[in-house]
Amino acid sequence: MPSQPYRVLFCDLRSDALLDALPVQGVSLDDYIGKSGSLRATVPVPNGEIAERARRALVPGRTAVWVERGREIWWGGILWTLNLASDARGFLSAQIQCGGWESYLYRRLLFDGQVAQGVDQFDIVRGLLDYVQSTPGGDIGITYDGEPSGVTRDREFSRYDLPVIGDLISQLAAVERGFEWRIASFRDADGRRTKRLVLGHPIIRAGAAEIVLDHPGPILTYAWPYDASALANGWQSRGAAINSNQAADSVPLMSERLVADDDLAAGWPRLDGSSDYTTVEDPTTLDDHARADWNAARRPVQIPEVEVLLGDNVSPALLGSTVRVRIRDLWHPAGLDARYRVVGLSINPPERGRPETAKLYLEVAA
């Protein structure tokens, strides 16, 4: 089946009014759960007409970028950098780099203190997003639903810390019984381009039909890392500096000390780790962070990647979905047959004989 054509739309970030649909080359894009995706591409500038159009449309910091495949939205984000380049023969090109919508929240600060007592953690996130989009010039059209997580939190964010909004959300997500978040791009039922905050507790799940990927077969290549460099079975986290006695030196708030005795009994060596939360003043919140970090460090997440040809069943909608991976080769003579959740993907559109492929980044399905 021939691949669907790709089209890159350049729009005004605040109004989403279409500025242009310029030709692009060398497109690569990725999207993830838990971190902002990116897009890289080159806009060739062969003549004065294209140069004029590109000058109007490619404005770093205020241009939104949407990628269409056929009539579906496959990616959305913000143009952050543009590099105009001329080669030895005088051919001009504009190299662009874009970040997913999440990147906007990492460029916004909290200038007003916020307090939440017994508030659902999803509502804390929505409140931060409302703060961002209620400020003059801050509304870029991110929408959300009202589903709760069922987990309440107490939080106090100080304006004196000038915290980054994206960091506040990520830190809230990373505590024990936390959540995952991303901002998805798609067309709604009326065909409008949509940015939607997606929240999932404890994880984001999507899709109902399980996809089976085999190697040899649809899986062209794979990489399976095993990394113990971040492994830790002993842990303690540091919080904000505490100084109840002005004559004494300040010392940081310390979390409970955590040790995985069952790992040591099973023969593992003692491996220690720590983390810092310099704005956290509440012992319970610091302990929540410490336990989440400790649990993650005890069993570092293995993120295998498989490269597949794009088809009807492989698209950005797979993020959060479960796939069944079956591999039989020299390393897996008896065969690997396991289920994994797709937590990221990187897409390479077809170009000059290059096939249309995607790398899927996986984690063990719960």
The rounded Cα 282 to chain-centroid distance in angstroms is: 28
Rounded CA separation 45/58 (Å) = 12
211-226+302-364 carries CATH number 1.20.1250.20: no
| pLDDT for the residue 5 | 78
Rounded CA separation 209/218 (Å) = 17
Across residues 157-161, what is the average pLDDT? 94
| pLDDT for the residue 246 | 63
Rounded CA separation 43/227 (Å) = 38
The rounded Cα 9 to chain-centroid distance in angstroms is: 22
Q: In what order do the strands lie in the sheet with 180-187?
A: 142-143, 193-200, 180-187
Tokens describing residue 169: 């959300």
pLDDT in tens, 214-262: 999 999 999 999 888 889 999 999 999 877 666 667 889 999 999 999 9
pLDDT in tens, 249-275: 788 999 999 999 999 999 999 999 999
| pLDDT for the residue 250 | 81
DSSP state of 233: S
CA angle centred on 102, ends 227 and 279, rounded to 5°:
75
pLDDT tier, 64 (very low <50, low <70, confident <90, very high otherwise): very high
Ramachandran region, residue 208 (left: φ > 0; alpha: ψ -120 to 50; beta: rest): alpha
pLDDT tier, 208 (very low <50, low <70, confident <90, very high otherwise): low
pLDDT at 355 exceeding the cut of 90: no
Tokens describing residue 193: 């381009």
| pLDDT for the residue 2 | 47
Q: 3-state SS of 205-224? A: CCCCCCEEEEECCCEEEEEC
CA-CA distances (angstroms) from residue 210 to 213, 214, 303, 309, 350?
10, 13, 19, 17, 26
Contact (Cβ atoms closer than 8 angstroms) between residue 36 and residue 78:
no
105-200 carries CATH number 3.55.50: yes
The CATH class that applies to domain 6-100 reads mainly beta
Residue among 285, 195, 274, 198 nearest 235 (CA): 274
The rounded mean pLDDT for the chain is 93
Tokens describing residue 307: 């490269």
CA-CA distances (angstroms) from residue 366 to 85, 204, 205, 341?
47, 12, 11, 8
pLDDT in tens, 81-131: 999 999 989 899 999 999 999 999 999 999 999 999 999 999 999 999 999
Share above pLDDT 70 across residues of the chain, in percent, rounded to a whole number = 96
Rounded CA separation 158/107 (Å) = 17
Q: Which of 84-88, 185-189, 242-246, 297-301 has the lowest mean pLDDT?
A: 242-246
Q: Which of 20-24, 150-154, 189-193, 204-208 has the lowest mean pLDDT?
A: 204-208
pLDDT at 3 exceeding the cut of 60: no
Rounded CA separation 272/233 (Å) = 6
Tokens describing residue 339: 């289920």
pTM: 0.89
Across residues 188-211, what is the average pLDDT? 92
- Report the first-to-last Cα separation within the chain, whole angstroms: 34
Rounded CA separation 263/235 (Å) = 13
Q: CA neighbours within 13 Å on the CB side: how many for 17?
A: 6
pLDDT tier, 303 (very low <50, low <70, confident <90, very high otherwise): confident
Element (H, E) at 344: strand 336-348
